[in-house]
Amino acid sequence: MNGIKSEYRKRINKAFDYIENNISKQISIEELADVANFSKYHFHRIFASYTGEPPAQFINRLRLEKAAMMLVMNKNDNISDIAEKTGFTDLSIFSRNFKNYFGISAGEYRKSKNSNISQMLSKNRQIEDTAQMYFCQSTNTLKWRTNMELNKSVEVKELPKMNLAYIRHIGPYMGNEKLFEGLWNRLFAWAGPRGLIGGPGFKSLIIYHDDPNLCDHDKLRTSVCITVPENTPVDGEVGTMKLEGGKYVVARFEVGPEDFGTAWEWLYGKWFPQSGYQPDEKPCFEMYPEEPKDGKFIVDICVGVKAL
C-alpha cells in the first residue's frame, strides 16, 4: 500500500514541477495528465485529492502568488509585464483574479507592501546593517562586507545547473526540526545504498517552492534534495528534477534553528535594497556545505538575481 501511495506522490510531484517550470505558459489538464502518466479522465480527481485543490485552482494560485512576489521585488517591471510572465494573457483577467484573491488591486498591493518595507527599514535605521561591495580578484566575483552578526559572506556568482533527487513535503515546516530530520533520513536511506552520497561536487539543499508570506501554510511545498548524476533512476517517493543554473546571490550564515527566518529577512530586507539586484524567477534554496555542530548550522541562502 505504501508503495502505491509513493508512486502516486511521485507522479503528482512531476505535475508540480511541470507547472512550476512552465508557469508563464498556458497549461492544459491533458498536458498535466500526460506528465503524471494518469488518464485525463481520472487525473483531475487524483490531483485534487492529493493537493486539496483542483488543478486549475492550484495553477491560478501559484501564478497569483508569484505575481505578488514580483510586484514587490521587481519594482521596475510594470504590472502588465508581470501578468504576462505569470501566464495571464489578458491584463483585465489578471487584475480581476488578483483582486479576488488578495482583496486589493495589484497596484494597491505593490504600493502598500513597498510602503511597509520602507517603514521597517526606517524604524531599524539606528541598527543599520551595512553591506559594502568589492570585487574579489581571486574568484572574479562581486562580494560584500557586512556587519550583520549572523552573516559570514555575501557574493554574487554563477551556479551550475544541478540534477537533483528529492523528497517533497506539503504543509507547514517552519521551526519543525523533527520534520526535516525525518525527510533527510528517508532521502539518505534511499541514496546511501545506491552510492549517491558524497563524492566530488556533492551538495545537499532545501528548495522552497512557495513564499510563506503569501501561501497558506498547509499548502507550502518544500523539497529536500541531493545532487545526483543525470538520468539517475529513482523509485518510491523519491523524484528527480533539474535546478536551473545562472547568477545567484549566495549569502552564508551561521545560525541556530531559531535564526533562519532572521537570515532570510536580512537578505531580502537589507541586502537586496542596496545591492543593485532584484530576485529573478528561479526557485530560492538553502545549501548546507558542512554538518551542523553544537546546534549551529552553516547555510548558504541562494536566490537567483538579475539587474534592477
Q: Which domain holds residue 169?
A: 154-307
Q: Please check whether residues 86 and 187 belong to one and the same domain.
A: no
Phi, psi of 41 (to 5 degrees): -75, -25
The pLDDT value recorded for residue 1 is 42
Q: Please check whether residues 21 and 103 belong to one and the same domain.
A: yes
Q: Please check whether residues 299 and 243 belong to one and the same domain.
A: yes
Is residue 46 situated within a structural domain? yes
Q: What is the pTM of this model?
A: 0.83
Q: Per residue in 2-28, pLDDT tens?
A: 566 778 888 999 999 999 999 999 999
Angle between helices 55-73 and 29-36 (to 10 degrees): 100
Is residue 134 situated within a structural domain? no
Indicate which CATH number applies to the domain containing 43: 1.10.10.60
Is residue 120 situated within a structural domain? no
Q: Please check whether residues 223 and 281 belong to one and the same domain.
A: yes
Q: Please check whether residues 215 and 289 belong to one and the same domain.
A: yes
Is residue 22 situated within a structural domain? yes
Is residue 129 situated within a structural domain? no
The pLDDT value recorded for residue 115 is 64
Q: Please check whether residues 86 and 26 belong to one and the same domain.
A: yes
Q: Per residue in 25-84, pLDDT tens?
A: 999 999 999 999 999 888 989 999 888 899 999 999 999 999 999 998 888 889 999 999
Mean pLDDT of the chain: 89
Name residue, grid cell 527599514: 121
Q: Per residue in 161-173, pLDDT tens?
A: 999 999 999 999 9
What mean pLDDT do residues 251-270 have? Answer: 91
Tally of structural domains, the chain:
2
C-alpha span between 123 and 99 (Å, rounded): 30
Q: Per residue in 280-307, pLDDT tens?
A: 888 899 999 988 888 899 999 999 999 8
Q: Please check whether residues 194 and 267 belong to one and the same domain.
A: yes
Q: Please check whether residues 48 and 177 belong to one and the same domain.
A: no
Is residue 273 situated within a structural domain? yes
Q: Please check whether residues 103 and 202 belong to one and the same domain.
A: no
Q: Please check whether residues 67 and 191 belong to one and the same domain.
A: no
Q: Per residue in 93-143, pLDDT tens?
A: 999 999 999 999 999 999 988 766 555 545 544 445 667 888 777 777 888
Look at residues 100, 115, 130 and tell me which one is the last residue of a structural domain: 115
C-alpha span between 94 and 72 (Å, rounded): 16
Indicate which CATH number applies to the domain containing 235: 3.20.80.10
Q: Please check whether residues 241 and 186 belong to one and the same domain.
A: yes
Is residue 253 situated within a structural domain? yes
Degrees to nearest 5, angle at CA 196 with 4 and 297: 100
Is residue 205 situated within a structural domain? yes
Three-state DSSP state, 214 = coil
The pLDDT value recorded for residue 87 is 94
Q: Per residue in 213-240, pLDDT tens?
A: 889 999 999 999 999 999 999 988 999 9
E-only strand ranges, the chain = 131-136, 141-146, 151-159, 162-170, 204-208, 221-227, 239-243, 246-255, 277-279, 284-287, 297-307
Look at residues 115, 141, 174 and tell me which one is the last residue of a structural domain: 115
The pLDDT value recorded for residue 96 is 96
Look at residues 88, 115, 142 and tell me which one is the last residue of a structural domain: 115
Q: Please check whether residues 191 and 80 belong to one and the same domain.
A: no
